[in-house]
């Protein structure tokens, strides 16, 4: 027997008008620098329909108009958070942590490190483990500022709780030293010990904002696997800001597919995806 009204069995997919999609892409680019690809249309429709519903608005265009007329609304965080890609891992691109340890030993202390796209925390905690292992007085000689535009990701970084699966790249010795293993209802999870947590100051920072930290402040900047989301002009702008806030001889760590050599003269390649600021 034919199924009557079979169309009603197909779940309704929210759609986004081209003009709304372009509007959302413009707002995201302007606020966060992130380029929204057209392959994200469906996802954009889904996410923005839910966000509009939460605010009691009836459609995506009303939602976008709300954002535009409420520039300091916390809804902007939810909007940006929905489009960030937070993929990260402990000791991702492990050679960087060897270079960092070596460099840190030779630098005058205190050593100021900025992890500028810290996502859910795996990167700054890896930085701190590497420094605790290579410097005799890292706890007092090092300060790490870990930031991201994504408030949800930073919230998870602050909590510092990870599944054991995510901890696999960490050497067993470090696991014992720097993590508490969960018991009972927390089995399968681990939490960073205060010795790691307390060396990091977490916060939100938008790399396309105008209010940058003071000049000449950082010895080391990590900004890995993030510039790929920005267009060339935005990348150049951010690199010039990094150059200004770094101390003479400071080093910048980039992601495995990022090459800054053709973008700026303010940095010189010193090794695989590691740059020295030029003064």
Ligand X SMILES: C[S@@+](CC[C@H](N)C(=O)[O-])C[C@H]1O[C@@H](n2cnc3c(N)ncnc32)[C@H](O)[C@@H]1O
CA nearest neighbour of 147 among 80, 204, 200, 221: 204
| Burial bucket for residue 87 (CB in 10 Å: 0-12, 13-18, 19+) | exposed
- Only one of the segments 30-38, 66-74, 128-136, 239-247 lies at the binding site for ligand X (rule: CB under 6 A); that segment is 30-38
**Can you tell me the distance from the alpha carbon of 244 to that of 239, in angstroms, rounded to the nearest whole number?**
9
Can the peptide bond before residue 113 be classed as cis, meaning omega within 30 degrees of 0? no
Q: From residue 138 to residue 167, what is the string marking binding to ligand X with x (rule CB under 6 A)?
A: ----------xxx--x--------------
Q: Does 84 bind ligand X (CB under 6 A)?
A: yes
Which positions ≥6 away from 259 have C-beta within 8 Å?
Answer: 273
Backbone phi and psi for residue 106, each to the nearest 5 degrees, phi listed first: -90, -15
CB of 71 to ligand X, least distance (A): 16
Q: How far is the CB of 207 from ligand X (least distance, A)?
A: 4
Q: How far is the CB of 142 from ligand X (least distance, A)?
A: 19
Longest Cα separation, the chain: 81
Which of positions 175-204 make contact with ligand X (CB under 6 A)?
none
- Run of H or E residues at 63: helix 60-69
CB of 161 to ligand X, least distance (A): 17
Nearer to ligand X, 160 or 255 (CB): 255
User: By CB under 6 A, which span of 16-24, 80-88, 127-135, 257-265 interacts with ligand X?
Assistant: 80-88
Whichever of 30 and 182 has its CB closer to ligand X, that residue is 30
Q: Which residues bind ligand X (CB under 6 A)?
A: 32-34, 84-88, 92, 117, 119, 123, 148-150, 153, 206-208, 224-226, 229, 255
């Amino acid at each position: 027997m034919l199924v009557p009204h079979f169309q009603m069995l197909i779940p309704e997919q929210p759609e986004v008008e081209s003009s709304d999609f372009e509007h959302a892409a413009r707002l995201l680019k302007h606020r966060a620098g992130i380029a929204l690809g057209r392959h994200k249309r469906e996802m954009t429709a889904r996410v923005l329909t839910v966000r509009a519903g939460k605010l009691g608005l009836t459609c995506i265009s009303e939602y976008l108009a709300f954002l535009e007329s409420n520039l300091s609304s916390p809804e902007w965080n939810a909007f940006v958070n929905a489009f960030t890609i937070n993929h990260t891992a402990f000791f991702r691109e492990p050679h960087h942590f060897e270079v960092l340890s070596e460099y840190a030993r030779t630098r005058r202390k205190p050593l100021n490190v900025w992890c500028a796209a810290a996502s859910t925390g795996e990167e700054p905690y890896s930085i701190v483990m590497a420094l605790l292992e290579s410097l005799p007085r890292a706890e007092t000689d090092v300060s790490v500022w870990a930031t991201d535009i994504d408030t949800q990701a930073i919230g998870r970084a602050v909590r510092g709780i990870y599944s054991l699966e995510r901890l696999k790249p960490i050497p067993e010795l470090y696991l014992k030293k720097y993590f508490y293993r969960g018991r009972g209802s927390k089995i399968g999870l681990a939490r960073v010990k205060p010795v790691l947590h307390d060396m990091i100051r977490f916060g939100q920072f938008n790399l396309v904002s105008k209010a940058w930290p003071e000049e000449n402040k950082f010895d080391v900047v990590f900004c890995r696997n993030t510039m790929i989301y920005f267009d060339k002009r935005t990348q150049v702008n951010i690199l010039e800001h990094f150059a200004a806030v770094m101390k003479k001889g400071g080093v910048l760590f980039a992601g495995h597919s990022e090459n800054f050599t053709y973008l700026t003269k303010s940095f010189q390649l010193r090794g695989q995806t590691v740059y020295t600021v030029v003064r």
